[in-house]
Copies of this chain bind each other. A is one copy, B any other.
Amino acid sequence: MKLAVIGLGLIGGSIALTLKKNEFADQVIGIDKSEEHCRRALELGIADTIFPLEAGIREADIIVLAVPVDAAAEMLPRILDMCGKQVILDAGSTKVSVERAAANHPKRGRFVATHPIWGTEFSGPDAARTDEMKGRLTVICNPERSDKDALEIVEALYRSLGMNIVYQDAENHDLHAAYVSHISHLTSFALALAVLDKEKEEEQIFRLAGAGFQSTVRLAKSNPDTWVPIFKDNRSNVLDVLNDQIFFLRQMKKLIEMEEYETLHKLLTDANRIKGIIN
């Protein structure tokens, strides 16, 4: 199979490297508006060749759209226009807008909306990793809207990456993703800002940073070019979960202010229930 990857960053690069290694892809055509990304993708073996968009799509059997979610929704109808029997999948963290962008297209069936749940706080071709998606979950949204052969090819692609597949409608996906992914990024960004704000006064504050701080602040290194479009796209769910997060932080603040430590203890014990759910 000939794979075209649009967006040669963390996700597109990792998919390309792994599918080449597994021999699922005979050839990877790289497509990226950044010349620097194209150059690095060739150097790193992510892409075998670089093509402009239309020529790349014409050459490919499968097209992986791995660009920020706003760009994906904007590009998808144009890509479908250019397509014959090719299969297109996206890999974005939100699914409603890309679904909507394809909904009324005569070639909607060639598209499969997916979200592989893997990533790191790093970005660009140099962040791409081989085989790290193995064992993780990927979501395929609204599979009934894809052609049977297109769906089967995308399922085979994800099995080749070693991922487990779940099916979900796009609305549900975006709601859940706000709670178990998007808010983690926002709290991490806010934590970094709070600490960096303080650090202006206190240079040595970072001497005491332990593993706990590092794990909670890690996501604040994430690329705003990726994440602002996600927050924009999933605005209403993200605002709901931000409200919840602020509500609980304010509740903790009030309990500490009022010195109601027994109630605080009950609240934190309640939070401990997460033990039963997340390893």
Contact = CB atoms under 8 A, between A and B. Distances in A.
Interface string A190-213: 111111111100101111111111
Contacts of A222: 268, 272
Main secondary structure of the interface of A (DSSP, over half): helix
Interface residues of A, number: 92
A160 interface: no
12 contacts: A119-B211, A175-B202, A180-B205, A183-B195, A192-B274, A197-B248, A206-B277, A212-B219, A216-B218, A217-B274, A224-B272, A238-B256
Interface in A229-279: 231-232, 235, 238-239, 241-250, 252-253, 256-257, 259, 261, 264-265, 267-275, 277-279
A252 B227 CA distance: 12
Contact of A208 (B176, B190, B205, B218): B176
Contact of A261 (B194, B202, B228): B228
A24 interface: no
B278 A214 contact: yes
A67 to B, nearest CB: 16
A245 B264 CA distance: 18
Contacts of A227: 268
Given A195-B180, A245-B191, A271-B196, A232 B261 contact: yes
Given A139-B208, A173-B208, A210-B118, A194 B224 contact: no
